[in-house]
C-alpha cells in the first residue's frame, strides 16, 4: 500500500505543478484512476488513500467493480456498444466515449426509460487516426445541434486521445486544438450541451494536457505501476 500511496502522491504533485504552470487551480483537475489492470483489492486501497474517481474500459468489469465499490465515482472510458448501454446508464457519473450518433440515441433512450440524465463527453479524433473512433472537428457542430432533440442526454464536453509518442510534447498540439475548438463552439448556443469538461491526457502525457486546458485526466499505469 505504501508503493501505491507514493505513486498517487507523485501523480498529484505533477498535476499540481502542471496546473500552477498554466495559472490554474489544481483542485479544478479531476484525476480519474484507470483501474483496468488493478485487482479489486488494489482499487479498494486506492479509494482508501483518497482517490474518488475510477475509469474502466469494459462494461462487465465496470459492473463488477461498481457492485464491489459502490462508494467510488465510476467513469466509462472505453468504447461502448449500444447493447451494453442499459448496464451502465444511471450507474456511472460520466461516459467519456460518445463517438457516434446511434450511441447518443441509445444513451438517451435508456436515460428516458429510467428518468435520469445521462452525462457524456463527445469523443473527438483530433489527430485523424484511422484506428481511433470519434468525431472529426468538422462534424461536431451538426452533431451537437442534433443532440438538442435528445432530452435525457447531456453533453458535458469533449474527450480526445493523442497519438502515442515517446515525447509528450508531441501531444501538445492535439490538446491545444481541442481546447480552442471547445472555446469556439462554446460561443454558440446548443440545447443540452454544457462545455464543462475536457478529458485529455493519460499516464504518458497528462501534464502537457493540463497545461493545454484539460480538467479531467485519465491515469492508469503511473498510479498502479502496470503497463496499460
CA distances from 62 to 88, 97, 198, 215, 221 (A): 8, 14, 22, 23, 18
- Band of pLDDT at residue 227, cut at 50, 70 and 90: very low
Q: What is the DSSP letter of 117?
A: -
- 170-201: b or e for each residue (b if 16 or more CB lie within 10 Å)? ebbebbbbbbebbeebeeeebebbebebbbbb
Going from the C-alpha of 33 to that of each of 56, 86, 103, 105, the distances in angstroms are 9, 24, 24, 28
Q: Which helix (H) or strand (E) holds 145?
A: helix 140-147
Q: Which residue from 122, 208, 118 is spatially nearest to 158, judged by alpha carbons?
A: 122
Residue 74: how many CB atoms within 10 A of its CB?
22
What gap in Å lies between CA 84 and CA 178, rounded to an integer? 28
Quickly state the pLDDT bin for 226 (edges 50, 70, 90).
low
For the residues 24-41, what does the mean pLDDT come to?
A: 96
Query: pLDDT tens, 54-91?
Result: 999 999 999 999 999 999 999 999 999 999 999 999 99
pLDDT band of 130, cuts 50, 70, 90: confident
Residue 159 has pLDDT above 60, yes or no: yes
Question: What mean pLDDT do residues 152-159 have?
Answer: 98
Mean pLDDT rounded to a whole number for the chain: 95
Q: What percentage of residues in the chain have a pLDDT greater than 70? A: 99
The burial class, CB within 10 Å (0-12 / 13-18 / 19+), for 167 is exposed
| Confidence at 156, pLDDT banded by 50, 70, 90 | very high
Q: What is the mean pLDDT of residues 142-157?
A: 97
Can you read off the three cell numbers belonging to residue 72?
Answer: 467510488
pTM: 0.95
CATH hierarchy code of domain 57-219: 3.20.20.10
Q: Write down the pLDDT at residue 53.
A: 98
SS3 179: helix
In angstroms and rounded to an integer, the radius of gyration of the C-alpha atoms of the chain is 17
Question: What pLDDT score was predicted for residue 228?
Answer: 37
Domain boundaries, the chain: 57-219
What pLDDT is recorded for position 119? 98
Residue 154 CA from chain centroid, whole number: 14
Q: What mean pLDDT comes out for the span 158-162?
A: 96
pLDDT value at residue 113: 98
Amino acid at each position: 500500500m505504501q508503493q501505491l500511496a507514493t505513486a498517487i502522491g507523485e501523480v498529484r504533485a505533477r498535476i499540481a505543478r502542471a496546473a500552477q504552470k498554466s495559472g490554474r487551480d489544481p483542485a479544478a483537475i479531476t484525476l480519474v484512476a484507470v483501474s483496468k489492470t488493478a485487482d479489486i483489492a488494489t482499487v479498494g486501497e486506492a479509494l482508501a488513500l483518497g482517490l474518488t474517481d475510477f475509469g474502466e474500459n469494459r462494461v462487465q468489469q465496470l459492473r463488477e467493480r461498481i457492485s464491489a465499490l459502490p462508494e467510488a465515482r465510476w467513469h466509462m472510458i472505453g468504447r461502448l456498444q449500444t447493447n451494453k448501454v442499459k448496464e451502465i446508464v444511471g450507474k456511472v457519473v460520466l461516459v467519456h466515449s460518445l463517438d457516434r450518433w446511434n450511441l447518443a440515441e441509445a444513451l438517451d433512450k435508456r436515460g428516458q426509460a429510467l428518468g435520469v440524465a445521462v452525462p457524456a463527453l463527445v469523443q473527438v479524433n483530433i489527430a485523424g487516426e484511422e484506428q481511433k473512433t470519434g468525431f472529426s472537428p468538422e462534424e461536431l457542430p451538426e452533431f451537437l445541434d442534433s443532440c438538442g432533440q435528445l432530452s435525457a442526454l447531456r453533453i458535458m464536453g469533449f474527450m480526445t486521445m493523442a497519438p502515442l509518442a515517446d515525447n509528450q510534447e508531441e501531444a501538445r498540439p492535439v490538446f491545444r486544438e481541442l481546447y480552442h475548438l471547445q472555446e469556439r463552439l462554446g460561443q454558440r448556443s446548443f440545447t443540452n450541451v454544457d462545455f464543462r469538461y475536457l478529458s485529455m491526457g493519460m499516464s504518458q502525457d497528462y501534464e502537457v494536457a493540463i497545461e493545454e486546458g484539460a480538467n479531467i485526466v485519465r491515469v492508469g499505469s503511473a498510479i498502479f505501476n502496470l503497463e496499460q
